[in-house]
Amino acid sequence: MTHTLLSPMDMHVHLRDEAMLKCVAPLSAQSFSAAIVMPNLVPPITTIEALKAYHGRILEAMGEMIFEPLMTLFFKSDYTRAFLEEASLYIKALKLYPSGITTNSEGGVASMDIETLRPVLEVMSDLGLILCVHGETNGFVMDREKEFCSIYESLASAFPRLKIVMEHITTKESVALLDKYENLYATITLHHLLITLDDVAGGMLKPHLFCKPIAKRYEDREALLQVSLKAHPKVMFGSDSAPHPVHKKECCGCAAGVFTAPIALQALTELFHKHHMLANLQAFVSNNAQTIYGYKPPFKEISLVKIPYDVPHSYGDVIPMFAGEQLAWSLK
Amino acid sequence: MTHTLLSPMDMHVHLRDEAMLKCVAPLSAQSFSAAIVMPNLVPPITTIEALKAYHGRILEAMGEMIFEPLMTLFFKSDYTRAFLEEASLYIKALKLYPSGITTNSEGGVASMDIETLRPVLEVMSDLGLILCVHGETNGFVMDREKEFCSIYESLASAFPRLKIVMEHITTKESVALLDKYENLYATITLHHLLITLDDVAGGMLKPHLFCKPIAKRYEDREALLQVSLKAHPKVMFGSDSAPHPVHKKECCGCAAGVFTAPIALQALTELFHKHHMLANLQAFVSNNAQTIYGYKPPFKEISLVKIPYDVPHSYGDVIPMFAGEQLAWSLK
């Protein structure tokens, strides 16, 4: 049994830099035709020079593979119109992080005050740049995304022409916003379709499943699953694949991030097939994103076959989700 | 500044066995005069022979130190009256674990059905044996203790002469039960007075703060703190100090348990002092338990002085809470 996907895309990925980039970028390119690349390097991507240099390093890491890295800038509320006009030649989106909310987000915005953000968001609206948001407050870990929903609502109302992507949503409350505001969209990860907090901390504590936002409750996972399986036109697959070397995961203070890039398509195919929704996977992993981003990715046929795939224990220094386990589908 | 405690007790501790026992038992004896010792070894303590042998190994590990290990049996619903009568010569309590709910609990009870438990609980009532309970369902990790509250209520109502200790409570719902049923008591750990899920999984993931029941919300911690600081007569200090070797904590599937035995009294003194409640610490760490258990521990004066204590990075192969940090009080 074979299932073919045309130009699948990963609308939220961390490719990192240097040795890690060289390790993980080809693994993304193996499955995907294009990807929205997160800008939270150290230091974050905040200049045209850094943007172009990072783009070059990614292409170099890809070698001859067909894969278009779609670049993003790290949101700063003091960017000028002239700067954003120039940047818009190179980027699809800006990624907004509340300061300190996740890995390498220390330079993020200190306040989500609309008036502080207004100048940059107005220019982004004018230029058709997309706003990608890590939507968490600094509240109690299980409430952070839910608490952020009112901020999403304020942003969506205040900037009706701005396309806002709620990145890696994890709650039923965020899902509910999709049908409430025309200009709110979302990416959904593989792992948030599969796990809850029980998988992270209900049995043994599992550092390789620890991520931000943290996995939530069963009813949240169910809400994410339902909009994904039906390929709700406002949701896109974004893996949030976030590799860390094993010594930063299995230690006394484990970094947040699940590494899924090399197994995401196989696991998604298994999930959609199990739910008899395989016909919708194309929209979830490509067509919806093409419409939302107004973007046509390089043509690439990716075929999956229903032959078991033994997930490696590691890729280089990184442990993937399902390490050492078997998935039902393989890349052909 | 000095504060002296008379015969402090730890009413819930895991002393383990073999090399670990030899490492941790003297650390408990340094601070405490007596302790309720958990029976969840592998295999669990379910016979008089195992009980006496384990008691002997603990005494041997203590050497000349003044410390009385108060033994418990691993609850089984098929114990006979004759067996329990003989066991009652050696034990204070039986510890009931729902099967599979925590470390080494696989042999626990498969069902909390009152009628299944009735024969043993009736005999325990007759003999004045105390029932210690790990009160969690197998539900969602943040709901397990709250869901168990109705079981505590059924037990308390069905066996009014039985003293039932809700072990290591972590929720405001459990606190509320203390004033509702005369025969419900509780132990409270140090770590649940200090941390919430935010400390475990809100920043980096912290395996050394991962325990069962998992730390809950701020309002839960506040409820625990209030009954502890006022030394509510039905609450007792029980550290649930649960050592694991570092390779079982910093790995891909971390075992549950916080190791606090060697730093518990220092940290409790700091906490009660900070809240101007030092006068109540004696009741929380000894007097309440003496009344509830009807037990007089060996006389032992433990003095704490307000001199900073640099917590070691490890004790043998075990990482304690506050490893490498400084506490405000030291054992004299």
Chain B residues 55-114 with CB within 8 Å of chain A: none
Q: Does pLDDT of B256 surpass 90?
A: yes
pLDDT band at B18 (very low <50, low <70, confident <90, very high): very high
Chain A residues 198-217 with CB within 8 Å of chain B: 198, 200-208, 210, 214, 217
Name the one residue in this structure whose structure tokens are 């200049």: A47
Q: Does pLDDT of A109 surpass 90?
A: yes
pLDDT band at A307 (very low <50, low <70, confident <90, very high): very high
Contact present, B170 and B244 (Cβ < 8 Å):
no
Q: Is B10 a catalytic residue?
A: no
Query: Looking at residue A35, what is its pLDDT?
Result: 98
Look at strands B330-331 and B2-6 and give their pairing. Answer: unpaired
Q: A24 CB contacts (<8 Å, ≥6 apart)?
A: A15, A16, A241, A243, A259, A261, A315, A318
Query: Looking at residue B286, what is its pLDDT?
Result: 98
Query: Looking at residue A101, what is its pLDDT?
Result: 87
Query: Looking at residue A104, what is its pLDDT?
Result: 87
Instruction: Name chain B contacts of A207, Cβ cutoff 8 Å.
Output: 205, 207, 252, 254
Q: Does pLDDT of A103 surpass 90?
A: no
A197/B contact by beta carbon, under 8 A: yes
Catalytic pick among B113, B126, B199, B240:
B240
Query: Looking at residue A118, what is its pLDDT?
Result: 97
Residues of chain A with pLDDT > 70: what percent? 100
pLDDT in tens, B65-124: 999 999 999 999 999 999 999 999 999 999 999 998 888 888 999 999 999 999 999 999
Helices (H) and strands (E) in chain A, counts: 12, 13
Which of A141, A217, A323 lies at the smallest CB-CB distance from B198? A141
Which of A214, A253, A319 lies at the smallest CB-CB distance from B204? A253
> In this complex, do B200 and A196 lie within 8 Å of one another by their Cβ atoms?
no
Q: Which residue of A has its CA nearest to B208?
A: A252
Instruction: Name chain A contacts of B254, Cβ cutoff 8 Å.
Output: 204-207
Rounded to the nearest integer, the mean pLDDT of chain B is 97
Q: Does pLDDT of B296 surpass 90?
A: yes
Omega within 30 of 0 (cis) for the link into B308:
no
> In this complex, do B201 and A198 lie within 8 Å of one another by their Cβ atoms?
no
Closest CA of chain B from A175, distance in Å: 21
Which of A141, A249, A255 lies at the smallest CB-CB distance from B202? A141
Closest CA of chain A from B166, distance in Å: 20
Q: Does pLDDT of A258 surpass 90?
A: yes
What number is the average pLDDT over the span A131-149? 98
Query: Looking at residue B93, what is its pLDDT?
Result: 98
B142/A contact by beta carbon, under 8 A: yes
Q: Both tokens of residue B277?
A: 């409640």
pLDDT in tens, B174-188: 999 999 999 999 999
The CATH number, out of the four listed (3.20.20.140, 3.30.70.100, 3.40.47.10, 3.30.930.10), of the domain defined by the range A2-331: 3.20.20.140
A255/B contact by beta carbon, under 8 A: yes
Instruction: Name chain B contacts of A217, Cβ cutoff 8 Å.
Output: 140, 142
Sign of CA dihedral B91, B96, B102, B107: positive
Please tell me the number of Cα atoms within 13 Å of A194 on its side-chain side.
Answer: 19
> In this complex, do B256 and A205 lie within 8 Å of one another by their Cβ atoms?
yes
Instruction: Name chain A contacts of B205, Cβ cutoff 8 Å.
Output: 205, 207, 210, 253-254, 256
Query: Looking at residue A187, what is its pLDDT?
Result: 99
pLDDT band at A201 (very low <50, low <70, confident <90, very high): very high
Instruction: Name chain B contacts of A314, Cβ cutoff 8 Å.
Output: none
| Cβ burial, residue A295 (10 Å; 0-12/13-18/19+) | middle
Catalytic pick among A17, A240, A310, A317:
A240
pLDDT in tens, A159-182: 999 999 999 999 999 999 999 999
Query: Looking at residue B103, what is its pLDDT?
Result: 84
Rounded (to 5) percent helix, strand, coil in chain B? 40, 20, 45
What number is the average pLDDT over the span A215-241? 98
Query: Looking at residue B104, what is its pLDDT?
Result: 87
Omega within 30 of 0 (cis) for the link into A245:
no
> In this complex, do B201 and A210 lie within 8 Å of one another by their Cβ atoms?
yes
Q: Which residue of A has its CA nearest to B320?
A: A252
pLDDT in tens, A150-164: 999 999 999 999 999
Contact present, B298 and B281 (Cβ < 8 Å):
no
A22/B contact by beta carbon, under 8 A: no
Separation between Cα atoms, residue B149 and residue B166, nearest integer Å = 10
> In this complex, do B253 and A198 lie within 8 Å of one another by their Cβ atoms?
no
Closest CA of chain B from A208, distance in Å: 7
Look at strands A301-305 and A330-331 and give their pairing. Answer: antiparallel
A319/B contact by beta carbon, under 8 A: yes
Residues of chain B with pLDDT > 90: what percent? 98
Contact present, A250 and A323 (Cβ < 8 Å):
no
**Residue ranges of the domains in chain B?**
2-331
> In this complex, do B253 and A210 lie within 8 Å of one another by their Cβ atoms?
no
Q: Does pLDDT of B31 surpass 90?
A: yes
Closest CA of chain A from B197, distance in Å: 7
Please provide the DSSP assignment of B207-234 as one string.
GGG--SSPP--HHHHHHHHHHHHTT-TT
> In this complex, do B204 and A319 lie within 8 Å of one another by their Cβ atoms?
no
Contact present, B216 and B199 (Cβ < 8 Å):
no
Which of A201, A250, A255 lies at the smallest CB-CB distance from B201? A201
pLDDT in tens, A223-232: 999 999 999 9
> In this complex, do B252 and A202 lie within 8 Å of one another by their Cβ atoms?
no
Q: Which residue of B has its CA nearest to A137?
A: B202
pLDDT band at A301 (very low <50, low <70, confident <90, very high): very high
A219/B contact by beta carbon, under 8 A: no
Separation between Cα atoms, residue B112 and residue A191, nearest integer Å = 34
Residues of chain B with pLDDT > 70: what percent? 100
> In this complex, do A210 and B205 lie within 8 Å of one another by their Cβ atoms?
yes
Q: Which residue of B has its CA nearest to A250?
A: B251
Query: Looking at residue A253, what is its pLDDT?
Result: 95
Closest CA of chain B from A253, distance in Å: 5
Which of B141, B198, B206 lies at the smallest CB-CB distance from A202? B141
B331/A contact by beta carbon, under 8 A: no
Q: A207 CB contacts (<8 Å, ≥6 apart)?
A: A249, A250, A254, B205, B207, B252, B254
Whole-number Cα distances in Å, B264 to A19, A178, A257, B9, B222: 44, 49, 33, 11, 19
Q: Which residue of A has its CA nearest to B144?
A: A202
> In this complex, do A255 and B319 lie within 8 Å of one another by their Cβ atoms?
no
Q: Does pLDDT of B25 surpass 90?
A: yes
Query: Looking at residue A163, what is its pLDDT?
Result: 98
What number is the average pLDDT over the span A141-145? 98
